[in-house]
Amino acid sequence: MSNTGDSVIVRFVTEDDKEGWQGLWRSFQDFYSVSFPNELDEFNFKRFLDPNVKMWAAVAVDSTSGKIIGMINFLSHMTTWDFKDKVYINDLYVDESSRVKGVGRELIQFVYEEADKLDTPNVYWCTDESNHRAQLLYTKIGYKAPKSLYKRNGY
């Protein structure tokens, strides 16, 4: 559990956070102009809570209002380059009204700490080339790898 300033707490999701998480998950989809079926929410949440599945979610909670204002979903997977897994931050979202307060940074910092505890400290993520607001943060807590990402046609 980590603390941003005096009023935000970052912690793993629990069963009770589902609704709050879903609200941000919807906003996140809007931001990326994608739309997932509701069943995927259920499936993801089950994976987050299952101790046997290496997929997790953390939320940032405003400790005054109790409101969930940020979420970060991450998972770990193998790599041929190491004995250890790598941790991939799949999604990060902070409520529009809570931006520029260090919440995004705290969420990533939470992942770093969990990755360290898991002894898989190698963490990476992707963002839209044109998302400069996000990258103002990312260049402070990480670095841009000089890589191009390719996808199979149609996917």
Question: Would you count residue 144 as binding a second copy (CB under 8 A)?
Answer: yes
Nearer to a second copy, 62 or 74 (CB): 74
88 counts as binding a second copy under rule CB under 8 A: yes
Quick check: 18 binds a second copy (CB under 8 A)? no
Beta sheet of 55-62, edge-to-edge order: 2-4, 8-12, 55-62, 68-77, 86-94
Give yes or no for residue 117 binding a second copy (CB under 8 A).
no
Q: How far is the CB of 64 from a second copy (least distance, A)?
A: 27
- The answer to whether the beta carbons of residues 66 and 102 sit under 8 Å apart is no
Rg (CA), the chain: 15
Q: Which amino acid is at 19?
A: E
* 3-state secondary structure string across 29-60: HHHCCCCCCHHHHHHHHHHHHCCCCCEEEEEE
Interhelix angle 132-141/103-117, rounded to 10 degrees, is 40
Say whether residue 46 binds a second copy (CB under 8 A): no
- Give 63 or 135: the residue with its C-beta nearer to a second copy: 135
Q: Does 16 bind a second copy (CB under 8 A)?
A: no
30 near a second copy (CB under 8 A) = no
In the DSSP assignment, the letter for residue 154 is: T
Question: Which chain residues interact with a second copy by CB under 8 A?
Answer: 34, 36, 39-40, 43-44, 47, 53-55, 73, 75, 77-83, 88, 90-91, 112, 115, 121-130, 132-133, 135-136, 138-139, 141-153, 155
